[in-house]
């Protein structure tokens, strides 16, 4: 056989085997354009914002939006862990994991989640970004005054005024008799909303300043306060004379307390009180009033009273002289 023909036949056989192998086993021939595994693009936390969501009497919802910055190749298996930590105790309150999946576009991707926490105190919100279960970035933000997030039944645009010219609580003397003073009580309300506020009432509670005893309680119907208007609610109450009182005003809507205010009434001319006055407990010494409050002597704690011996007046010297004479007579008799 011709040598050249043999070599040509061998070359054709090699080509045929290569073609068959490429068909039967895909990928057996390396792609000259293949550069190996694709490196995922970088991701990080660009920003975290927190908004107040729905609330109940006990809990509040924090709406947390996390902005993830991405660039380059697609990044798979991205997730975000969000947790709320009590700012005072440092204890973990709640946590939630969000699966973001694959991020392909350049720029920011926003993911949101809601955390429900007790409606009190403050919280530190931590946001941790993961890629393929590996932590790649994290950030923290603080939230304070969560109790200010009010549930619907506590939300109101109407409240007591906060002006010296229009004090929230005021009073005047309507009349007096031998034992009682009648007060005209007023509460000033302001509606800062765009809609009228109705089904309102104000309860006035008068408490004796030193003892905290409730001396009078009365409720006045506030009716409807128009949008952007200020209204005054008035009523009367009678209290004993010559005492000082705190006037607590409570604004209610359908039986729910939505605001409070305090005033002071000084009916004792020898002592006055103020709304912001600091009070302290005074110990009542019962022994000061025993035995009708007589002029019995008192002693400092830990000291004993001085005791003085005495005898009947006019007999001390006489008794001593008689004893001396008797002793002399007895001695003389024994000597005889």
| Predicted confidence (pLDDT) at residue 295 exceeds the cutoff of 50 | no
Considering the entire predicted model, what is its pTM? 0.55
Query: 156-266 maps to which CATH number?
Result: 2.60.40.10
Query: 43-148 maps to which CATH number?
Result: 2.60.40.10
> Quick one: DSSP state of residue 215?
E
Q: Work out the average pLDDT over 183-188.
A: 96
For residue 245 the two structure tokens come to 């009182």
* Count of Cβ atoms closer than 10 Å to residue 262 Cβ: 15
Spatial distance between the Cα atoms of 70 and 41, rounded to a whole number of angstroms = 7
Q: How confident is the model at residue 20 (pLDDT cuts 50, 70, 90)?
A: low
270 vs 88, higher pLDDT? 88
Domain ranges across the chain:
43-148, 156-266
| Predicted confidence (pLDDT) at residue 24 exceeds the cutoff of 90 | no
**Where on the phi/psi map is residue 256: left (φ > 0), alpha (ψ -120 to 50), or beta?**
beta
The yes-or-no answer to whether 43-148 and 156-266 have a common fold is: yes
Q: What angle do CA 195, 200, 205 make, to 5 degrees?
A: 145
Query: Please, what is the average pLDDT of the chain?
Result: 80
Give yes or no for a contact between 153 and 256, defined as CB atoms under 8 angstroms apart: yes
- The pLDDT, as a whole number, for residue 35 is 56
- The pLDDT, as a whole number, for residue 153 is 83
Spatial distance between the Cα atoms of 121 and 57, rounded to a whole number of angstroms = 14
> What residue has token string 């429900």?
116
Give yes or no for a contact between 73 and 39, defined as CB atoms under 8 angstroms apart: yes
With helix as H, strand as E and coil as C, how does 36-104 read? CCCCCCCEEEEEEEEEEEEECCCEEEEEEEEEEEECCCCEEEEEEEEEEEECCCCCEEEEEEEEEEEEC
């Amino acid at each position: 056989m011709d040598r050249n023909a043999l070599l040509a036949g061998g070359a054709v056989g090699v080509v045929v085997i290569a073609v068959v192998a490429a068909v039967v086993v895909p990928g057996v021939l390396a792609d000259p354009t293949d550069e190996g595994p694709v490196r995922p693009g970088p991701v990080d936390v660009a920003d975290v914002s927190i908004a107040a969501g729905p609330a109940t009497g006990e809990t509040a919802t924090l709406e947390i939006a996390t902005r993830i910055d991405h660039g380059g190749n697609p990044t798979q298996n991205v997730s975000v862990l969000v947790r709320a930590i009590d700012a005072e105790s440092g204890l973990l309150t709640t946590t939630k994991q969000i699966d973001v999946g694959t991020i392909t576009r350049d720029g920011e991707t926003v993911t949101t989640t809601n955390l429900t926490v007790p409606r009190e105190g403050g919280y530190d919100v931590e946001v941790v970004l993961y890629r393929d279960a590996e932590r790649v970035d994290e950030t923290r933000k603080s939230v304070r005054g969560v109790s200010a997030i009010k549930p619907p039944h506590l939300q109101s645009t109407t409240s007591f005024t906060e002006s010296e010219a229009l004090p929230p609580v005021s009073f005047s003397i309507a009349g007096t008799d031998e034992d009682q003073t009648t007060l005209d009580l007023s509460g000033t309300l302001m509606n800062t909303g765009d809609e009228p506020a109705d089904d309102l009432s104000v309860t006035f509670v008068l408490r004796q300043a030193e003892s905290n005893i409730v001396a009078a309680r009365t409720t006045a119907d506030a009716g409807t306060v128009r949008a952007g208007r200020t209204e005054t609610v008035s009523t009367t109450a009678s209290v004993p004379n010559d005492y000082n009182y705190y006037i607590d005003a409570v604004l209610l809507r359908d039986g729910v307390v939505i605001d409070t205010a305090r005033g002071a009434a000084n009916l004792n001319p020898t002592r006055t009180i103020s709304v912001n006055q600091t009070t302290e407990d005074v110990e009542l010494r019962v022994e000061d009033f025993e035995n009708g409050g007589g002029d019995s002597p008192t002693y400092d704690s830990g000291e004993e009273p001085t005791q003085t011996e005495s005898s009947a007046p006019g007999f001390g010297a006489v008794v001593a002289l008689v004893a001396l004479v008797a002793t002399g007579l007895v001695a003389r008799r024994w000597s005889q």
